[in-house]
Structure 1
Amino acid sequence: MKPVTAVVWQDDAYQLQIGQDWFALDLLSYQLMAATAPAEPAAVLQVLPAELAAARNESISWQRVLLDLHSGRWFGSWGVWVVDVAALILLFLALSGAWIWFSRKRGF
């Protein structure tokens, strides 16, 4: 895998140079798409100092897990549909439970 050698912000997306090729980074799906070289000069990337690289947090937060599940990063578009159907089922269960509870209180 080749390293990223330059980064430019252009057209509301990051343009990354990997080797001699340029790619646009989709910030929602974190996928790279082929792009043309940017018109403005690229920022030169520097190596991260060892003390900062060693201090990275390798754990994944629950917020990141839930965001990845809801956005389809794990299971693609099928995952989004499964989460949507589960939400509708839970909404139905909540409303039907409330309906049953209120109808028993009123004696219907």
Structure 2
Amino acid sequence: MNSYGFNAPETYQGLAVDEHLWVIGGTQLFRDDVSVATCSSDWHSVSWLDPMVIASCASKVELFSTDGDRIEIFSALPEGRLIKSGRIKNDGRLLLQFTQNQYLLDVDSFEVTAVSGYEMILPQWQSVPAPMTQSLQSQFRVQDLTWERFILDVHAGRWFGGWGWLLMDLGAIFMLTLALSGVV
């Protein structure tokens, strides 16, 4: 992945829920060291609304059981880019924060109500232990890199640098020469 410019996140943030650590790292969401969801943009919020864990990125909000099972995906956001989400102070409801507006999301009916002036409880992030960080980095995945692109890059010789195309062409000419000469 490094040759394509994709690097695993250096730091991970975790939220402890029922003796498990919900970890966000770039575009991946983990429960302990098991990947449970991905997003096209970085995850920025994880909240615990008993009995659910709510995770959000810029384009969606996902609801999970505390066991790590996905309950629902809410992607019909009232505005374009979600900045953060979290519980309301002294309340158990979910607040969605956009650039200028706030909305309450009812996690049972998925009704969205415009509000203002609510204070959000931000999660108390915990540091992720070093062994778990290494495990998470080894599981790093990229959505933009497809098998088709990888095979085309190998076939075109891009892995051999700027002269890779010439090396691949010379190899093809050599094999063609062997085939026509009857050696192979």
TM-score tier by shorter-chain length is: 0.3 to 0.5
Flag the structure with higher strand content: 2
TM-score (norm: length of structure 2): 0.22
Provide TM-score, normalisation by structure 1: 0.33
Higher helix share: 1
